[in-house]
Amino acid sequence: MEALLPVLKSHPGPSVLVCSLIFRLAHRLLQRLPVPKVVKQDAFRSWKWKNLSVSMVHSMLTGIWALTCVVVWPETLSDIHSYHTPLSYLLVCVSTGYFVHDATDIILSGHAKGSWEFLLHHALVIWCFLYALYTQLYVAGAVIALFVEVNSVTLHLRLMLKLAGAQSSTLYYINKLANLFTYVMFRLTTQFYLTWFIIHNYSWLDHGGYFLVSMMVMNIMILIYFYRLLRADFFPRSCAGQNGMHNNNTKKFISD
């Protein structure tokens, strides 16, 4: 790892592209796994299932990785601006590669218009993460931001169960409770902690204004998604006709 770090730091752009290609390879390999029949019958559901499969791999990998970095190196939580380790730098590089892959997949598959929220989110994340990789600043902040991927595991599973028409299953019920818990603990709490850190240390942070604006945009987005999540999973009567997946290829999904 020590030998790899100088290569990553001297060529962050190409390193991200390599990671992106690895996720593209994972995308192809995951297509060999069995897919529910109802998913195969619809082109949009089929694409979304493949897309979510890669997203699930990324979330499981980076969520655990980010938590491990903080447990092993607790300085990550307090020195968001300057602290990083070889493993945390590699984590940010790998995750940036995923977001580049996912944005490319959305655009090339022709779903950009219906997935503009995802693309806006990905653009903000990619820009912030690339800044961290090129300047070697805020790497710890990027690692903390990846705590949200713990919640993304349950979000992705929720959508895959909906794609498979399993909203009435016991697994969906258990997952929606876990999803609510992880959304609050790992998504909302993480975002608000990072926002507080930027505001509290705004006077001396490099490009603090840009990061504050980026965080505020993402905060608004996750609050909107949280409202949609609560409305769909816990107050379905108030949105009759909108809950679940329909054959008209609806594209309003909760973001990761």
| In the predicted structure, residue 110 carries a pLDDT above the cut 70 | yes
- Residue 125, pLDDT above cutoff 80: yes
**Residue position matching structure tokens 């300085």:** 75
pLDDT computed for residue 249 by the predictor: 42
Cα(204)–Cα(108) distance, integer angstroms? 41
Question: In the numeric block, which tokens belong to residue 168?
Answer: 């009435």
Domain ranges of the chain: 3-233
Task: Answer for the pair 44, 249: CB distance below 8 angstroms, yes or no.
Answer: yes
Tens digits of residue pLDDT in 190-217: 999 999 999 999 999 999 999 999 999 9
pLDDT the model gives residue 236: 82
User: How confident is the model at residue 150, as a pLDDT?
Assistant: 98
How far out from the chain centre does Cα 22 lie?
Answer: 17
One-letter amino acid at 186 equals F
pLDDT in tens, 51-104: 999 999 999 999 999 999 999 999 999 999 999 999 999 999 999 999 999 999
Q: What token pair was written down for 125?
A: 């994340």
CA distance 182 to 153: 9
Report how far Cα 133 is from the mean position of its chain's Cα atoms. Answer: 18
pLDDT at position 143 over 60: yes
Q: How far apart (Å, rounded) are the C-alpha atoms in residues 106 and 112?
A: 6
pLDDT at 251 over 70: no
- Tell me the pLDDT tens digit for each residue of 3-44: 777 888 899 999 999 999 999 999 999 999 999 999 999 999
pLDDT band (50, 70, 90) for residue 256: very low
Q: What is the mean pLDDT of residues 124-138?
A: 97
Overall average pLDDT of the 48-53 stretch: 96
Give the pair of three-digit tokens for residue 2.
């020590």
**What value does the mean pLDDT of the chain take?**
91
| pLDDT above 70: percentage of residues in the chain | 91
Q: What pTM, to 2 d.p., does this model score? A: 0.91
Per-residue confidence (pLDDT) for residue 7, from 0 to 100: 82
CA 216 to each of CA 116, 137, 169, 209, 249: distance values in angstroms, whole numbers, following the listed order: 18, 20, 36, 11, 31
Residue 2 has pLDDT above 90, yes or no: no
Q: Are 149 and 187 in contact (CB under 8 A)?
A: no
The residue behind tokens 């909108």 is 242
